[in-house]
Structure formats: structure tokens, C-alpha cells
Amino acid sequence: MALANVGTPARAGWWKKNQRKLAPWLFLAPGMLMFLVYVIIPIFQSLWLSFFDWDGLGAKTWLGLANYTELFADEAFYTSLKNNVIWLVLYMLAVPAGLFIAIFLNQTVRGIRVYKSLFFFPFVISSVVVGLMFSWFYAPGFGLFFKLTEWINGTGYAILADDRYVTYGIVAAGLWPQIAYCMILYLTGLNNVSPDQVEAARLDGAKGWSMLWNIILPQLRPATFIAVVVTVIGALRSFDLVSIMTDGGPYGSSRVLSFYMYEQALSEYGYRMGYGAAIAVVLFAIMVVPITGFIWKMVRDERSGG
């Protein structure tokens, strides 16, 4: 009893003294714990797993760097890497395309909200649905695209059956929702463009391209930055469309790294956990570059802003 009486004021005092310092950490704790358990620890587990040969059931065998040496001699890995580069480059088209649609829609006409939501629609529907729609669009025999090429050419063209064009066909499907995403980013950005500056520029005789390039775009820099980053990340994790539209085929020519990782580690014929983990590590290394850039810029902006 006496002890408690002595102890309580002391403890309360310590809490009072450090409350301000502790509160943010306490509020952060649940999120940080989740992040640690579901993001940080699995990253190291993947790295660790990539040094083993493991089928998910039996015992793990230590391989050292053998998974990586195999990976760097693996033809399929380079096909996937090449396709990732194609994705990355072509996916960037979503940024200017989104910008132009946003500028086009940034006007006050009757019912503009309806048009805006129609343009935003592809981003709202599931990418599985987008993939299905596009695979019907390309489908040999009855697809709209197939019929169109048949009408122009005499023979229809099945884009998803051709190893040369299949990736472009899938990227086109991926661009559709991604353009909508960039558009919405730019539409919000355009709301914040200062009308005074536009007015001043107009008085100085700026219009058309020079107005866009010198006045509007600099003010849209934050939107552009986010649009580029989400597009890069979107391109690198382009898994769903590949899985829905081609399953990596024909003969593996439309694989991307994320899909190859899934195939090796988790698909019906896979269960090479170590090899899949090695692909994951390489993909992570590639992704870390834009993500670090993104975080670094955010921190810098906040420092200079505050």
C-alpha cells in the first residue's frame, strides 16, 4: 500500500513529462507494427528464402547464390525483363494522355461531371474485367479487333497469339485504366492552378503551347510527379492483365517479372519457392529505385515547405 502510494505519483510524473514525446510513437505503433510484420520482415524473409531450394513442403536445401546464377542464365528471365521495359516505356504514355484528357475536360459545360466520370470509368472497374474485355476485343474469330484487321487485310490478326505483338496488346489494355488514373490526378491538379497567373500570362500574350508549357505545367509539377511514380509502379506490377489475358503465353513470351515470380513459386507447375524469391528480390531491387526517389522527394518537399 505504502509502496503504491509512493510509486503512483512518480509514474504519473514520468508520463506527464514524456507524454508529448511518446504520444506520436504510440499513435504510430499499430501502423508501424503492421508495416513491420507485413512488409519489412517479408522482404528479409524473401531475401533469405532466395538462397534455398524449397518446394514449400519438404526440407529446405541451402544453395547459396545458385538461384541467382540460374536466373541470370535463364532465357525466360530476360524475356520477362524485356517485357517489363516495354511496359515501363509504353506505360509512360498514360501521363501525357491523361494530361490532355484532363485539360480537355477542364471546362465548364453542362453535364461535364457526367463526361468526367465516364472517362474515369475504366479505372473504377476491376482490372480482371478490363483484361477480359480486351481479350474478347482481340479474340480470333469474333473479336472486334480481329474482325477489323480481317476487313482491312483479308486475314484477321490474333494479337495475343503472336509472340512479337502480344505484350503491346496487353499494354494497350493496361493503358486504358492508367490514362484515367493520370487524368484524375491532373484534374485535381488543374483545380489548384492559380487563375491570377493564367490571367497575367494571357495579358503578356501567352497562349496555346507556350501557355501550357510555361504557365500550366510548372504548376502541375506535383501532379506530374505522382502520376509518373504510380505509372512506374503500375508498370512493374503488371501481373493481373498478363495472367487474365495470356497466362504468360504464347510460350512464355508475354511474361513479366511479377508473373514469372508467381509462376515459379505458386502456380500449378511451380513450387520453386527459392527461385521465385530470387525473382522477387530482383524485382524489388528494380522497384526500390523509383520508390526511394519518391520518398526522398517527398521528404525534401516537406522540409522546404515547413
Partner 1 sequence: MKTTLKTLLLGTAAAVALASSAFAEQRELVINTDTSDPAPKAAFEALIKDFEAANPDVKVKWNLFDHEGYKTAIRNFLTADAPDLANWYAGNRMAPFVKAGQFEDVTDVWTANGLDDQLKSAAASMTIDGKKWGVPYTYYQWGIYYNKDAYKKAGVTEPKNWAEFVANCEKFKTAGIDCVTTGSKALWPTAGIFDYINMRTNGYEFHMDLTAGKVAWTDAKVRAAFAEWAKIVPYTSANHAAIDWQDAAANLVQGKAANYVMGNFAVDTFKKGGMTNDNLGFLIFPEITPGIPRAEEAPTDTMHIPSGAKNKDDAKKFLAFLASAEQQTKINATLGQLPVNNKSTVSDDPFIKAGFEELSSAYALAQFFDRDAPAEMAKAGMEGFQEFMVKPENLDKILERLEGVRAKAYK
Question: What residues line the site for partner 1 (CB under 8 A)?
Answer: 55-58, 70, 75, 138-141, 158-161, 163, 246-247, 249-252, 263, 266, 268-272
Least distance (Å) from partner 1 to the CB of residue 56? Answer: 6
Q: Where are the beta strands (DSSP E) in the chain?
A: 52-53, 61-62
Least distance (Å) from partner 1 to the CB of residue 52? Answer: 14
Nearer to partner 1, 231 or 254 (CB): 254
Least distance (Å) from partner 1 to the CB of residue 137? Answer: 12
Nearer to partner 1, 56 or 218 (CB): 56
d(C-alpha 133, C-alpha 137), whole Å = 6
List beta partners, residue 62. Answer: 52
Other Cβ atoms within 10 Å of 173 Cβ, number: 24
Provide Rg for the chain, Cα atoms. Answer: 26
| Residue 261 cell numbers, joined | 515470380
Nearer to partner 1, 38 or 269 (CB): 269
Question: For cell 520453386, what's the residue?
Answer: 272
Nearer to partner 1, 145 or 186 (CB): 145
Least distance (Å) from partner 1 to the CB of residue 245? Answer: 9
d(C-alpha 259, C-alpha 243), whole Å = 7
CB 185 within 8 A of CB 226: yes
Least distance (Å) from partner 1 to the CB of residue 151? Answer: 17
d(C-alpha 147, C-alpha 150), whole Å = 5
Terminal CA-CA length for the chain: 50
